């Protein structure tokens, strides 16, 4: 099974895709009336990028979930990959909130 792999690159892939899924779930929950294109345009154009930073911050919770699952199952290399991409996303969100 693919989720039984224990490789850093696989964790990085999970850590990269999970927040994107989180943003889509945020859009569906919060802005279900609007199209994805409209919501994305609003998030980029909005002064201060508040909605985008909230969506990205909440979507990192999926990474925390996957990280916990992989650490508890003993797949530490995959957890390292998830942790690395979470740090990259987190730094990006911090930069967006600070300078955006």
Q: For 50-95, how does the pLDDT look when each residue is reduced to its tens digit (9 = 90+)?
A: 998 899 988 999 999 999 999 999 999 999 999 999 999 999 989 9
* Tokens 């911050």 found at: 57
Closest CA to 92 of 42, 56, 67: 56
Phi-psi region of 23 (alpha: psi -120 to 50; beta: other; left: phi over 0): alpha
Q: So where are the chain's domains?
A: 2-99
The mean pLDDT of the chain is 91
What's the pLDDT band for 48 if we cut at 50, 70, 90? confident
Residue 5 confidence (pLDDT): 82
What's the pLDDT band for 2 if we cut at 50, 70, 90? low
- Nearest-angstrom CA–CA distance, 90 and 57: 8
Alpha helical stretches, state H, the chain: 8-30, 36-45, 50-72, 76-99
Tell me the average pLDDT across 33-41: 93
Q: Is the pLDDT of residue 9 over 70?
A: yes
Give the global pTM.
0.87
């Amino acid at each position: 099974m693919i989720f039984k792999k224990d490789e850093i690159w696989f964790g990085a892939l999970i850590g990269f895709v999970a927040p994107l899924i989180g943003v889509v779930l945020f859009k569906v929950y919060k802005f279900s009336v609007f199209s994805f294109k409209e919501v994305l345009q609003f998030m980029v154009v909005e002064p201060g990028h508040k909605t985008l930073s909230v969506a990205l911050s909440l979507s990192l919770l999926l990474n925390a979930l996957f990280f916990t699952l992989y650490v508890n199952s003993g797949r530490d290399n995959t957890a390292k990959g998830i942790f690395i991409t979470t740090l990259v996303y987190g730094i990006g969100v911090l930069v967006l909130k600070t300078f955006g």
